Structure 1
Amino acid sequence: MSKQLIRRYWDCANARDWDGFAATLHPEVEYRVPQTRERIRGIADYVAFNAGYPGDWTLEVVRLLTDGDEAVSEIAFHVEQQTLNGICFFTIQDGLIRRIDDWWPEPYEAPPRAVATERY
C-alpha cells in the first residue's frame, strides 16, 4: 500500500494534478528541507508550495523502497536543462503521507583522498 501511495504522490506532482496530490497527504502533513531548514505544515500550504514551483519541470522516480509505514524515493528532477537528484524520506500515518524529509544533494568535485578511490 505504501508503494502505491508514494507512486501516486509523484505521479500527481508530475501531472500537476494538485487535487490528486493533496489526496495523498495527511491533514497534518509536515514537509522539511534539512539543508535550508525550511518547514511547511498543512495540506494547503504544501500544495501551494509545489504548485508555485517555478520553471517547466518534470520528474521521474528512479528508485522507491518501502517498509511498513516508511518509504524512501530517489527522483530525477528535470528543470531548465539540468537534472537534480532528490531523495525523500516519507512517514505514513493512517494510509496518508504524514511527513516528508526532502534532501537535494548538489554535485561537487571530490577532494583529494589519502586512499585510492574509483570514480564512476
Structure 2
Amino acid sequence: MDAATLLARLASVIDAHDWEGLPALLHPDFSCRLVHTGEVFDRAGWVRLNADYPGFQRLRVEDLVADGVRGVLRARVTGTSETGDELVFAVASFATVRDDLLAELVEVWADVGQDAPAGTRLD
C-alpha cells in the first residue's frame, strides 16, 4: 500500500476507535516520535497511547499529501477534558511506508485557538 492509502486508513481506524485494527497498519518495526515531548513509541506502545488517551473523541482529516512511500496527514483532533471542557488539537503526521505498512511516524501536535504572544503581531 502507498502512503496516501495507509494514512487515510489510519485516520479512519483511529476515528473509529478501532484499536484492535490499528496494529494491522503498522510495520513490526514501527516507531512514532512526538516532536513536542521527544517521546518515541514502538508499535504496541503507540497503539496503547492512542487507545488509552483520556477524553479522545474524533480525528478529522484536513489535508493529506503523499508521494509513494512518504506522506503527511494534517488532522483536527477533538476530545473532552476531565472537567468536561472541549479540547481541540491540530496534528501533522509525517509518515514513511515500508513493506506496505506504516514504518515511521513523526507527529507534531499543537493546541488550537491559542492567542499569539503579545507584541508579536502588527495591528
Fold shared per TM-score above 0.5 = yes
Cα shift readout 1:54-109 (whole Å, capped 9, x = no counterpart):
11421100000001111101100011213211111001111110111110123341
DSSP 3-state at the match of 1:17 = coil
Q: TM-score, normalised by structure 1?
A: 0.86
CA change 1:112–1:20 in 2 (3 A) is same
| Partner SS state of residue 62, structure 1 | strand
| Structural mapping, 1:54-69, within 5 Å | 54-69=54-69
Find the partner of 1:84 among 86, 89, 109. 89
Q: Which runs of 4+ in 1 moved over 4 A?
A: none
Give the TM-score normalised by the residue count of structure 2.
Answer: 0.84
Distance 1:61-1:38 versus aligned 2 partners, 3 A rule? same
Distance across 2 between alignment mates of 1:102 and 1:68? 19
Residue of structure 2 in register with 1:38 after alignment: 39
Q: 1:109 aligns with which of 102, 116, 121?
A: 116
1:75 aligns with 2:75: yes
Letter of the structure 2 residue corresponding to residue 77 of structure 1 = V
Runs of 5+ unmatched residues, structure 2: 81-85
User: Which amino acid letter does the alignment assign opposite residue 26 of structure 2?
Assistant: L
* Contact persistence 1:8–1:21 (CA under 8 A): no
**2:21 aligns to what SS in structure 1?**
helix
What is residue 14 of structure 1 aligned with on the other side? 15
Is the 1:5–1:24 Cα contact (8 Å) retained in structure 2?
yes
Q: CA deviation at 1:113?
A: 5.0
Supply the RMSD in Å over aligned alpha carbons.
1.8
Aligned length: 115
Identity of aligned residues (%): 27
Deviates more, 1:32-41 or 1:103-112: 103-112
Contact 2:3 2:96 in 1 (8 A): no
2:47 maps to what in 1? 47
Contact 2:79 2:87 in 1 (8 A): yes
For 1:2, give the aligned amino acid.
A
